[in-house]
Amino acid sequence: MGGNELELRLGMSDAEIIIRLGLVAVLCGYLYFKHWQRTRQLIERLDERHWTGASFNASQISARVQRVRHDYLAELHPSSSCCRRSLVAVARRAVGHLAYFRDREPEQQTHLTTE
């Protein structure tokens, strides 16, 4: 058994190498084409954002701006305390599941007693 026979069994033939390199080249070309398409579309979208449109008419909101300047609390929308409570509860549970807090024992609370 010569060295050439062993090399042919373990190694790839020239045709396999050419086919694999061709597939890599096709894949690289496809990926470059898709990247080029994405960047071209992004540039087109950015160009569309710089269009000159109609001006803003501030006279429609000037009365409300004056009301806010004089009494901003009157224009303040009521907050949903129920929503805030649930968000705090979710945050408390999330922090409680962290490893730092999971393995800790509850601290002893000392209560002052009146005698």
pLDDT tens-place string over residues 42-84: 888 777 666 666 677 788 888 888 888 888 777 776 666 677 7
Structure tokens at 83: 């929503």
Calpha distance 32→27 (Å, rounded)? 9
Tell me if 75 sits within 8 A of 67, measured CB to CB.
yes
> Hey, is 31 helix, strand or coil?
helix
Q: Residue 55: what pLDDT?
A: 75
Tell me what the mean pLDDT of segment 15-30 comes to. 94
> pLDDT tens digits for 94-115?
888 887 777 666 666 555 555 4
Q: Residue 6: what pLDDT?
A: 47
Banded model confidence at residue 29, pLDDT cuts 50, 70, 90: very high
Calpha distance 6→49 (Å, rounded)? 64
Calpha distance 11→24 (Å, rounded)? 19
User: Does residue 7 have a pLDDT over 80?
Assistant: no
Q: How far is CA 63 from CA 18, 54, 57, 60, 73, in A?
A: 76, 22, 13, 7, 16
User: Does residue 3 have a pLDDT over 70?
Assistant: no
